[in-house]
Structure formats: structure tokens, C-alpha cells
Amino acid sequence: MSSPTSPEHFDVIIVGAGLSGIGAGVHLQRNCPGKRYAVLEARAEIGGTWDLFRYPGIRSDSDMYTLGYIFKPWKEAKAIADGPSILKYVRETAREHGVDRHIRFNHRVVRAAWSTTDAAWTVEIESGKDSQRTQLTCHFLLMCSGYYNYTEGYSPQFRGSDRFKGRIVHPQKWAPDIDYAGKRVVVIGSGATAVTLVPEMAKTAAHVTMLQRSPTYVISLPARDRIANGLRKLLPAKVAYAMVRWKNVSFGMLFFWLSRHTPNVIKKLILGGVRRELGADYTNRHFTPSYNPWDQRLCLVPDNDLFASIKTQRASVVTDQIETFTEHGIQLKSGAELPAEVIVTATGLNLQLLGGMQLAVDGVPIDFSKTLNYKGMMFSSVPNFASVFGYTNASWTLKADLTCAYVCRLMNYMDSHGYRQCTPRNRDPQQSEQPFIDFSSGYVQRSIAQLPKQGARAPWRLYQNYVLDVLTLRFGKVTDEAMEFSK
């Protein structure tokens, strides 16, 4: 990696201008005001997920009081918000805090190499239409590149798909010219995307069938949080926001704890909710998974919208397997045929950490599957490098905020002690390695081998517990036996 002139240098480079990258910029400006930083974004827009996904009905599946930033109250009436409102919120944050002035768009980071001699990362970037290669250097690299591949969603090869005469679309590649009004639609999948698409498309389609291989737990919650909207009228926005945030965090944590410790009680509760809407038979056939709640991500629907579209027969659920696509629809293993003009493959994402980048430390390439994750953000033997990765059982931003604030504290500690390098080192040979995520979902299992590992004990263990993380990341020390500081 050589360059005729020396590359421009920053204290911090943030990779990604999505929800996390914009938040990271704000944390940095507030907590480390003297630091010079740049945000490198591969796409031409701010927003990441909330700009990329354009399918009908795109919305959050967690509440915005916890998906919103700790420093910017969510003020809209709906707690379960639509994609455009979330995108507006992220853009507004970038503008209000001037983070937008630090973003370099169409800058894809492809490689980063750490030099201990220089105590710096040299970051290699592809930019512009002709993918021109340039370099920048930085002292700390903060990855806010999300968790999935932007180029392509997960699309299994379905037999006979080339015979189908209608249109096949993956939600990650939704195009404005997709016309489904008055047409028969099959949505393949039963995850968050499928349960969002079905009621929305059912508003104008002739009929929408959600075709699933196996059921998922689906819970309905009100789209509007009455307590939140009431508190906002009585209290200053920031106070009301903090109270509702803690209310929702506590509820989410209690629900998760009960799911893990008394799964049968929670199972009964969830299935009872569906049964009230759709009756026992429909619930048993299509909404009763074989696993326990929270062994995979739960699906949230606002105001029973999915169940309402099924009740009015604008939509239906089929639990079966695909034998082959035909010219006019899908032939199922049971022998039944689903006629369709539009097929949506809501079959998921391809997990990808660190934006597909290659990393090397002092000339040695890093294989992240061989690293241990430190405090849910750094990696064993990788210096001055952190990555934002949200919770699997709560809103992403809860962890993103904690991670960014912690990285700022770490950098301030280094500055005040004259350290140039911080490197987590696993010195415990007995530390057993465990999977990074303990979900049985397909998208996790497909990629688990490439992900870093977690250890059995702190600071190498991912507890997926916000309260514990507040205590350790916000109030705990940045020094411990695993973190090596050097000058």
C-alpha cells in the first residue's frame, strides 16, 4: 500500500453513515471535541438500512424510544415507525449536529492495515464510478458498517424459477415499477420482512399468500404508545423520552428473561394473542413454532395488521415446502399449487461483518473467525479498532450508543496517559470459545463459522443485557487485565 504523497490523516475514521455511523459522529463531537474525524460511506446517501430498503410498508420492528438515539428524543406519535420517518430522523440528526459535513460519500473501504511503528491504520478506499483507489490514515478505526451484505440478499435457488412468467423480487432489491395492484402475490418467508409486506400489499393486491416452511412467533403491539404520548404532553421531551426508554427497556428485558426461564408461560401468552384473532385451528397450523420464544427473533406486528388482513381474507398463510416454481405460480410438496403473478422472496439477508473489508495487523492478515470479541466491540489482538454491533434481543441503538460512548472514553483515557495503542489480548488459555450469536435462525447459522467468537467470561462474553452493559460500559473502568496499552 504505497502512495506518492502521504495520505490525509484523521484521528478517527468511522466506516458507514447509517444509524450507527451518524450516532458515532455525534458521540465523538460531544465527548472528544478536539478529534478530527471522517465518515466514509460506500453509498451516495445517509441512512444505511433505512435508505436501502424500499419495500411496501417498510417499518421498524422495535419501538423508536429504544431504536432512537439516547441524545435525541423520538417525537413522532407512532412508536413502531415507518422507514421514511426513521430515515428522516437519521438525516435530521446528521444535519443538526453537523455530522453530514464530515461524510465522504461513494467511499467504500476495502482494506485497512495497522502499523505498530506508526500507530496508525492505513485505510484503502474505492471511490467514484471508476472505483479509483485512494488511501487515508487514522489513529482509531470505528466500524459502523452494519451486519449484512448490501449487494445481495439471501435468495435460495428455487427449482423452476426461470419458468415463472410473472415477476420475482427480493425485498432488498425492491423497485418502484413493481406493480402488484389487483394481482395475486406470494410472499416466501415468515420473518420480520414477510409479516411487514403481507398486510401492506394485501391493501391493493388481489390476494397475498404468505408461504412459510415453518411458523414464527408473532406478537401484536399498539403502533402508538399511549403512555409515551401522554407523558410527552406533561413533561419536557427529554424527560419523557428517558422515562419511556427505560419503561420499554425494562419490559423487553423482563419478556426476554421470562422467555428463557419460563418458555411455556410466554408461549401460552403469545399463542393466546394469535388465537383470539385467528382461532385455535389457524394458530396451531401456522403460528405455533417448534422452538421456544426467543430461540429465534420474534416478529412484532403493529395493531394486529397481519391478523386483520387474514381475517378479511385479503391474505392467508400456507405452511408447506416448495417443490418447484411453475409458469403461473408455485407447486408445493403437498401437491397444492399457489397461483401468482408476483413472487416476493422474503428469504433474508446475507450476514456480513465489517463491511466485507480485509484487515491486517503489521502485515499479518486477520481472520476474524479466529478472534475473540472484547466487550461486544473490539477483537483480540486487533489494536485501535472497534465495531458497533447491536443487540439481538433489543433495539440496535441501545448498544450502539453505549459502544460509541465507551470508545470515546477509551480514546480520552489513552490521550490523558500518552498511550498510542490499545489492544485486547486474551491471556487466558482456558477461555472456552462460544458462538458470537446463540440464535438458531437460518441467517445466523449460515454464517456462524465466519463470525468472531465470544468467551465464557467478561470481558470476552456477550451478555446481551442492556442494564449490565450500562454498568460496565458507561460506568466501568476502561482498564482491565485483558486490555494492553502501549506508548
Ligand X SMILES: Cc1cc2nc3c(=O)[nH]c(=O)nc-3n(C[C@H](O)[C@H](O)[C@H](O)COP(=O)(O)OP(=O)(O)OC[C@H]3O[C@@H](n4cnc5c(N)ncnc54)[C@H](O)[C@@H]3O)c2cc1C
Binding site for ligand X (CB under 6 A): 15-21, 40-43, 48-49, 53, 60-62, 67, 108-109, 144-146, 150, 193, 355-357, 388, 390, 395-396
Q: By C-beta, is 146 or 329 nearer to ligand X?
A: 146
Q: Is 141 exposed, middle or buried (0-12, 13-18, 19+ CB in 10 A)?
A: buried
Q: By C-beta, is 21 or 189 nearer to ligand X?
A: 21
Q: By C-beta, is 150 or 460 nearer to ligand X?
A: 150
Q: By C-beta, is 127 or 161 nearer to ligand X?
A: 127
The distance of closest approach from Cβ of residue 333 to ligand X in the complex, given in angstroms and rounded to an integer, is 29
Distance CA 173, CA 183 (A): 20
Q: By C-beta, is 176 or 418 nearer to ligand X?
A: 176
Distance CA 485, CA 414 (A): 8
Alpha helices in 11-132 (DSSP H): 19-31, 49-52, 64-67, 83-96
Q: By C-beta, is 250 or 262 nearer to ligand X?
A: 250
The distance of closest approach from Cβ of residue 98 to ligand X in the complex, given in angstroms and rounded to an integer, is 18
The distance of closest approach from Cβ of residue 395 to ligand X in the complex, given in angstroms and rounded to an integer, is 4
Distance CA 155, CA 171 (A): 10
Distance CA 200, CA 205 (A): 9
Distance CA 171, CA 273 (A): 28
Cell reading at 408: 470515546
Block residue for cell numbers 465523538: 28
Distance CA 201, CA 326 (A): 22
Q: By C-beta, is 61 or 401 nearer to ligand X?
A: 61
Distance CA 386, CA 446 (A): 24
Q: By C-beta, is 194 or 208 nearer to ligand X?
A: 194
The distance of closest approach from Cβ of residue 34 to ligand X in the complex, given in angstroms and rounded to an integer, is 25
The distance of closest approach from Cβ of residue 268 to ligand X in the complex, given in angstroms and rounded to an integer, is 25
Residue 185 contacts residue 340 (beta carbons within 8 Å): yes
Q: By C-beta, is 27 or 184 nearer to ligand X?
A: 27
Closest CA to 329 of 201, 452, 163: 163
Q: By C-beta, is 109 or 266 nearer to ligand X?
A: 109
The distance of closest approach from Cβ of residue 321 to ligand X in the complex, given in angstroms and rounded to an integer, is 25
The distance of closest approach from Cβ of residue 360 to ligand X in the complex, given in angstroms and rounded to an integer, is 15
Separation in Å, CA 111 to CA 22, 140, 449: 22, 14, 21
Distance CA 61, CA 64 (A): 9
Residue 230 contacts residue 335 (beta carbons within 8 Å): no
Q: By C-beta, is 384 or 395 nearer to ligand X?
A: 395
Task: Concatenate the DSSP letters of all residues of 340-352 into one string.
Answer: -SEEEE-----B-
The distance of closest approach from Cβ of residue 353 to ligand X in the complex, given in angstroms and rounded to an integer, is 10
Closest CA to 215 of 309, 148, 302, 291: 291
The distance of closest approach from Cβ of residue 150 to ligand X in the complex, given in angstroms and rounded to an integer, is 5
Task: Concatenate the DSSP letters of all residues of 189-207 into one string.
Answer: --SHHHHHHHHHHTTTSSE
The distance of closest approach from Cβ of residue 22 to ligand X in the complex, given in angstroms and rounded to an integer, is 8
Distance CA 348, CA 441 (A): 10
The distance of closest approach from Cβ of residue 19 to ligand X in the complex, given in angstroms and rounded to an integer, is 4
Distance CA 372, CA 382 (A): 10
Distance CA 437, CA 353 (A): 13
Q: By C-beta, is 100 or 484 nearer to ligand X?
A: 100
DSSP 8-state assignment for residue 471: I
The distance of closest approach from Cβ of residue 398 to ligand X in the complex, given in angstroms and rounded to an integer, is 8
